[in-house]
Chain A
Amino acid sequence: MQSKIHIKQTQKRHNQWLDNAIKYILMGFAILSSSFIFIIAGVIMVKGVTPFITNNGGLGRVNLADFLTGSTWLIGESFNSNLYAVGFLIISTLFIAFLSLLISFPVGVLTALFIAKIAPKKLAETLRTVIEMLASIPSIIYGLFGAGIILKLVYDFSTILGFQSKGGNSILSSVLVLAIMTIPTIASISEVAIRSVDKSIEHGSLALGASKTQTHFKVVLTSAKSGIFTSAILGIGRVLGEATAVSLVAGGRRSGINFNILDTTSTLTTMMLEGMKETTGLDYDIRFSVGIVLMIVILITNFTLNYIKRKVGNVDVK
């Protein structure tokens, strides 16, 4: 009897040892994944903080307050001035991100709903594959599409409205390009979430007499809230961080906040990208400072979105 109990106890300890080992290995993976943000921050900080604390080769320190609130990228000549500012870029970046999400979020989620629930199986499978394919197109091709087609459309569109657009380079073009890029991401992730909603909830709603549409909107979508929100967060991350595609359609505005969607604009990322290869000295380091500002903007956006997500509440399907 005692030996049997002994075996059971060793087995239990053995199992626990295995469980704990796995737990710590997986925890290691999680901690590793989350540590990268610090490494990235470190890399950017090294270059990005120097304009504010060193003399920049005789040009003088960049004033932090002016940098964050100013409305002209650079007053004076490149390599001869330290009057950089990104204030106006922060606002235009957020404005563009908000507008593009305004388009891509509803379109993406509704498309996901369509694929997951309404479309016949064959069509749904094809659509899913098409969307996954499009998520893999390099962003530069979206930029080319924007530059080739969307610019022309916006230019003609604004001629109809009577506004002389600058070749179509505008907030509207950037928003459209970004929306097109994020629709695949939002659609695929939301679709996974919608598909995973427990069928019993759906059947219950139908059994209670709700119509199919009512069930879709009031029951399925709300149950998949968490996943749909995640897709929005990942989508906005992509929007805020996209540089190449936007730089081909934005216009490179150098000063002033602009809310006219048919006029040119600039974002934090396009400003960072421009000339990143060809430049040296303060002009090069300052782009890392812009990177720091961008990361703070992303942090705040994610924080806000997560806060909203918590307030709106998670539906517990377990």
Chain B
Amino acid sequence: MLNSRRKKDLILQSITYMASFISLFVLISILLFVFLNGFKLLNMDLITHNFESTSYIADLKDFTGPGVFNTNKDFDDHTYYSTKWGIALSDSENLMGHTIVLVTYVHEDSPFNDLRNKGVATQDLMLDVDYEIVRIAFDDGPSALSIQGAQNMIQVLDTKTTFRELEYSTSGGGIRGSIITTLYLIGLTLLIALPVGVGAALYLNEYAPKNKFTKALRNLIETLTGVPSIIYGLMGLALFVPITISLTKATGANLISGALTLSVILMPVIIRTTEESLKVVPDDYRHASLALGGNKTQTTFKIVLPSAFSGILTATLLAIGRIIGESAALVFAVGTAIKDHVSIYDKSTSLSVHIWAMMTDEPANIELSTTIAIIILVIVLSMNLSIKLISKRLLRKYGVTHE
């Protein structure tokens, strides 16, 4: 008798261990996948730089002809130096992982130090280290393009005595704007979704009579779970964008409408998880509070809600996860215009949508996508830990024990 029970226990235990191991194994594989693919492009510059790079068009000013610019500098294998013009170029990769031609050295007497600006601004230009050369155009022959490499560009330059136009740019591809957008979206969405969601859950569990109407409300809320995100995006575009345009100073799709769309997506998760944790608060607590003379409002907000705190916390963390991970809905509701100056009255991209934009490139930039995923994980981890820390302190302060 005892043996068969122990056997059953053993089987159940091993299944449990196996299941957890499978979960852990799978989840670690995903983390490994993300880290191994994305590590290469991980860079502080990626986080702090603008996405947009600026191009400059220049040509030579008061040019009498190239000279001889010798230098004692030692250049490595990927750097090519032109003694005729006094610049060194090398093949490199920009923040997005695309190959570029980078300026690594400019001789102090090189004609590239004094260029005329062909654009509208009047200030003179000079070619400096860390700029990327896009192309050099000539009157007598095809241009030297960055796609052809640094060596080719130096070789072509060495055969010419002047050039028509030089186009170079500052580095771009940073995701700072998208990080800021993501943080704004989290803040706005939680501000809208948590009160409404927790409030609705409180109503359904504490105040609502157990009749068909309440059941119907619950079912309607639950049906929201399976709707594909694209549909939410279209709904956001059709409903929230006009509303926000008329109520705020927005003139097009904006982050507030995006936050409203996300709130609708989160509604069932927040309401259901909160409801489940409210359900488990023993009735004794409620009865005791009422017996002590508290009214329904005090009972609900001072006794029941704090007891359900950890469940609501989980709901919040899940919500944050979903906000950060949601891309399809925002692509349709807010658009994919990556911005450096982020305003909540204007459109911009969250990190997820930024990944989407990188993936629709041809060819798709899988490495940068996984790099951004790493950054997402870091953000989520830090939010997660800080929220848990704050809530632990709050719980201690209010003295509600639950573990």
Contact of B149 with A by CB under 8 A: no
Asked if residues A136 and B235 are in contact (CB atoms below 8 Å), the reply is no
Asked if residues A306 and B219 are in contact (CB atoms below 8 Å), the reply is yes
Asked if residues A295 and B318 are in contact (CB atoms below 8 Å), the reply is no
Contact of A39 with B by CB under 8 A: yes
Interface residues of B toward A: which range?
A: 35 or more
Binary contact track A173-206/B, C-beta < 8 Å → 1, others 0: 0000000100111011101110111100000000
Contact of B224 with A by CB under 8 A: yes
Binary contact track A227-267/B, C-beta < 8 Å → 1, others 0: 10010011011101111100000000000000000000000
Q: Which residues of A from 294 to 318 have beta carbons under 8 Å from B? A: 294-295, 297-299, 301-303, 306, 317-318
Contact of B376 among A136, A188, A233 (CB under 8 A): A136
Contact of A43 with B by CB under 8 A: yes
Given contacts A133-B380, A234-B268, contact A29 B295 (CB under 8 A): no
Asked if residues B369 and A140 are in contact (CB atoms below 8 Å), the reply is yes
**B322: A residues at CB distance < 8 A:** 135-136
In the assembled complex, the Cα of A226 lies from the Cα of B277 at a distance in Å of: 11
Asked if residues B231 and A44 are in contact (CB atoms below 8 Å), the reply is yes
Asked if residues A241 and B296 are in contact (CB atoms below 8 Å), the reply is no
In the assembled complex, the Cα of A142 lies from the Cα of B9 at a distance in Å of: 35
Min CB–CB distance B296 → chain A (angstroms): 4
Asked if residues A30 and B318 are in contact (CB atoms below 8 Å), the reply is no
Contact of B397 with A by CB under 8 A: no
**A135: B residues at CB distance < 8 A:** 318, 321-322, 325
Min CB–CB distance B74 → chain A (angstroms): 41
Given contacts A234-B225, A241-B225, A241-B227, contact A140 B9 (CB under 8 A): no
Min CB–CB distance B196 → chain A (angstroms): 5
Asked if residues B320 and A234 are in contact (CB atoms below 8 Å), the reply is no
Contact of A26 with B by CB under 8 A: yes
Asked if residues A34 and B217 are in contact (CB atoms below 8 Å), the reply is yes
**A187: B residues at CB distance < 8 A:** 23
In the assembled complex, the Cα of A198 lies from the Cα of B197 at a distance in Å of: 25
Min CB–CB distance B322 → chain A (angstroms): 7
Asked if residues A137 and B373 are in contact (CB atoms below 8 Å), the reply is yes
- Identify which of A34, A108, A111, A196 gathers the most chain B CB atoms within 10 Å of its CB: A34
In the assembled complex, the Cα of A127 lies from the Cα of B27 at a distance in Å of: 10
Asked if residues A138 and B373 are in contact (CB atoms below 8 Å), the reply is yes
**B24: A residues at CB distance < 8 A:** 111, 127, 130
Give the contact stretch, choosing among B14-22, B39-47, B114-122, B170-178: B14-22
In the assembled complex, the Cα of A109 lies from the Cα of B23 at a distance in Å of: 10
Asked if residues B231 and A141 are in contact (CB atoms below 8 Å), the reply is no
Asked if residues A138 and B223 are in contact (CB atoms below 8 Å), the reply is no
Asked if residues B30 and A114 are in contact (CB atoms below 8 Å), the reply is no
Contact of B344 with A by CB under 8 A: no
Asked if residues B377 and A137 are in contact (CB atoms below 8 Å), the reply is yes
A-B contact count (CB 8 A): 292
A-B contact list, 19 entries, CB within 8 Å: A23-B207, A30-B199, A30-B208, A40-B232, A110-B16, A114-B19, A129-B388, A135-B318, A136-B377, A137-B34, A138-B325, A139-B325, A189-B273, A196-B311, A227-B276, A233-B225, A237-B226, A302-B219, A317-B279
Known: A136-B324, A185-B318. 18 other contacts (CB 8 A): A29-B196, A30-B208, A34-B220, A37-B220, A37-B224, A107-B23, A108-B23, A110-B16, A136-B380, A141-B30, A192-B273, A192-B314, A237-B268, A243-B229, A291-B231, A297-B226, A302-B226, A303-B219
User: 7 tightest A-B contacts by CB?
Assistant: A237-B225, A136-B321, A298-B226, A110-B19, A26-B203, A34-B220, A196-B280
Chain A residues engaging chain B, CB cutoff 8 angstroms = 15-16, 18-19, 22-23, 25-27, 29-40, 43-44, 106-111, 113-115, 118-119, 127, 129-142, 144-145, 148-149, 180, 183-185, 187-189, 191-193, 195-198, 211, 213-214, 216-217, 226-227, 230, 233-234, 236-238, 240-244, 269, 272-273, 276, 291, 294-295, 297-299, 301-303, 306, 317-318
Chain B residues engaging chain A, CB cutoff 8 angstroms = 5-6, 8-9, 12-13, 15-17, 19-20, 22-24, 26-27, 29-31, 33-34, 37, 195-197, 199-200, 202-204, 207-208, 216-232, 234-235, 238-239, 264, 267-269, 271-273, 276-277, 279-280, 282-284, 295-297, 300, 310-311, 314, 317-318, 320-322, 324-328, 351-352, 355-356, 359, 366, 369-370, 373, 376-377, 380-381, 384-385, 388, 403
